[in-house]
Structure 1
Amino acid sequence: MRILITGANGFVANHLVKQVINHDIYLTSHSDQTIIDDEQIFKMDVRDEDSIRKVLHAVNPDVIVHLAAQSNVPFAWKHPVETMEINAIGTTNLISSIIKLKLSTKLIVVGSSDEYGITAKTRQLLSESDPCLPQNPYAISKLAAEQLGIQLARKHHVNIVCLRPFNHFGSGQKKGFVVSDFCSQIAEIERGIQEPTIQVGDISTYRDFLPVDDVVNAYITAINKDIPNDIYNISSGKPIKIEKILEKLIGFSNKKITVVRDDRRYRPAEVKSFAGDYSKFNEATNWSPKYDIDECLLRTLNWWRNKV
């Protein structure tokens, strides 16, 4: 099987490549420099349909896992047009290229749980049938990409599977995400780079956290299983208080670390709990999360300890 993974420089792509075995793997990156040492990397900008067609023509993939995205929410607020171009228009360009080249390709489009937005205020666990009310440019761009993809695929008979992963973490994730931010600060405290204080905003909220290993396993399952064209949540179904995540990570350190609320960062969350129901994907594939969250938190912290 020929598998094309877009977004070779991304956090999840790096983990996915290591786990997909016994297949021909091809990667794309918009940059000349990649974090994955592999000779089968094509330079491709999803905003440029010509570059997409060249890659698809060369590879003729059986499956495409579309991970290329602009996923930083603060960046999206500052650059909403660029975010929309990469995420929504880029995905549309990819599907249009599949259609024009008449490829029999399964396209796995990776969206985001952020698409649900404030709907989470009225749901204990979010399901795929719940309305999406996204509240930031990133989430809007992901929802647009997904919905455009579904409609084009339906009209032109393209095999498309849309996945909505919830919060995931692991080694290699950049700062700007809850677990990586906590881990990087603890590692810097242990090295004496930072004072033994972690300043936080509102950590009283509950979120659905998955180790990246579970997310990658879900993507591999979607690659290998013949499942209906549809939208599927990838989640744990078990919301965890962010404060508890921080307590676990601090507990792995032999340093005495103080947690201080920073009023500049503190904004009471509009959505207190945000978690997903993965039963639809489980019924279609028999996938369920299996990795121990504590072990994965420690592994992520150790990665940051080696990095700082």
Structure 2
Amino acid sequence: MSRPSPPRALITGITGMVGSHLAEFLLAETDWDIHGLCRWRSPLDNLAGLTGAIDRGERVFLHYADLRDTLGVDQVVAETTPDVVFHLAAQSFPKTSFSNPLDTLDTNIEGTARVLEALRRHAPQAVIHVCSSSEVFGRVPRDRLPIDEDCPFHPASPYAISKVGTDLLGRHYAEAYGMTVMTTRMFTHTGPRRGDVFAESSFAKQIALIEADRQPPVIKVGNLKSLRTVADVRDAVRAYYLLVTVNPVPGAAYNIGGTHSCTVGDILDALLALSPRRDDIRIEVDPARLRPIDADLQVPDTRRFTAHTGWTPRYTFAQTMHDLLEDWRARVRAGVPVINR
């Protein structure tokens, strides 16, 4: 008697920070086959730990399509007919969305619609995770903290507006077509492989460059007063796995986030404390790093998700900061080309 085929997971955005960590988690913790959707031009650096499996065609497979390409997305879903889907791919940088709003809206809203429509056609039985964002809540008054799932949306960037559309599309496909679609609003999450356009990763990169004498001892910053609750990306991907495996509830939406709340300035201080050059470094506000509007109070109420799945963070803030900085030190030692942005 032949053994049943293992479940097939599709990860859109597998080459990103979260997608690559999720693929590694699933490879280590499950017997699932992992199919990753990525653009042909996407850097593959984050998949370094998976290249052996990809080259051997063992459990990890790459498929090429762009979220803006309806036929390409449809073909990948038809070929893979996934049992589980993690829709992570997006234009994910809020500041960029101010200069590229149409690209952001197309990629994130219409791209999500393309993915969900392809799933409705070819894999309606799939358990689907649509990754929204805490940015949908935007400008939250202090008396609404911590932010629960019923807090009104007040998006503060074109990116956040695009994620409102993503969020609502997930619920629509669950309600209109009976599909098992769930939405997460993940609050700040970081760690190794974080893109350098995000504040805490930019700080770590600049510290690593200063330590290597590849940058003057000046760290350029934006708004340091914004309040954030920080989680580790490795805790985030474990949460996403529990989302799709612990009694999935069609149409459900969950806030997910860490337990350490601090200002962006506090994050900078924590990273500087890890550097032997900390006494030599000065801080300089760069107007180009400031958003026209900032979602400056991002503190989540995660009780709905933790009660449903039992998930709690395992990584401490200190460990996350240490690992983020060490990741950038390793990149700088390896001579990876970086620019100051």
* Band of TM-score, shorter chain: over 0.9
2:320 aligned partner: 296
Q: After alignment, is 96-105 or 123-132 more displaced? A: 96-105
Alpha-carbon distance in 2 for matches of 1:67, 1:294: 26
Distance 1:94 1:202, change over 3 A: closer
* 8 A contact 2:74–2:114 mirrored in 1: no
1:151 aligned partner: 172
Alpha-carbon distance in 1 for matches of 2:220, 2:72: 44
Alpha-carbon distance in 2 for matches of 1:158, 1:117: 28
Distance 1:75 1:202, change over 3 A: closer
1:233 aligned partner: 255
- In the alignment, structure 1 residue 3 sits paired with structure 2 residue 9: yes
1:174 aligned partner: 195
* 8 A contact 1:60–1:103 mirrored in 2: no
Q: 1:95: Cα distance to partner?
A: 1.1
Alpha-carbon distance in 1 for matches of 2:222, 2:304: 34
Q: Which amino acid aligns with 1:183?
A: A
Alpha-carbon distance in 2 for matches of 1:267, 1:25: 37
Q: After alignment, is 101-110 or 210-219 more displaced? A: 101-110
Q: Secondary structure at the match of 1:223?
A: helix
Alpha-carbon distance in 2 for matches of 1:58, 1:115: 33
Q: Which amino acid aligns with 2:299?
A: A
Q: Secondary structure at the match of 1:198?
A: strand
2:26 aligned partner: 20
Q: 1:20: Cα distance to partner?
A: 0.6
Q: 1:266: Cα distance to partner?
A: 6.5
Matches within 5 A, 1:217-232: 217-229=238-250, 230-232=252-254
Q: Secondary structure at the match of 2:140?
A: helix
Alpha-carbon distance in 2 for matches of 1:150, 1:87: 15
2:80 aligned partner: 59
Tell me the C-alpha RMSD between the 2 structures: 1.9
* 8 A contact 1:227–1:284 mirrored in 2: no
Gaps of 5+ in 1: none
Distance 1:205 1:34, change over 3 A: closer
How high is the TM-score relative to the length of structure 1?
0.94
Distance 1:42 1:120, change over 3 A: farther
Gaps of 5+ in 2: 1-6, 333-341
- In the alignment, structure 1 residue 253 sits paired with structure 2 residue 297: no
- In the alignment, structure 1 residue 123 sits paired with structure 2 residue 150: no
Q: Secondary structure at the match of 1:26?
A: strand
Q: 1:203: Cα distance to partner?
A: 1.5
- In the alignment, structure 1 residue 31 sits paired with structure 2 residue 52: no
Distance 1:208 1:183, change over 3 A: same
Q: Secondary structure at the match of 1:208?
A: strand
How high is the TM-score relative to the length of structure 2?
0.85
Aligned length: 308
Q: 1:75: Cα distance to partner?
A: 2.1
Matches within 5 A, 1:64-213: 64-101=85-122, 103-213=124-234
* 8 A contact 1:126–1:277 mirrored in 2: yes
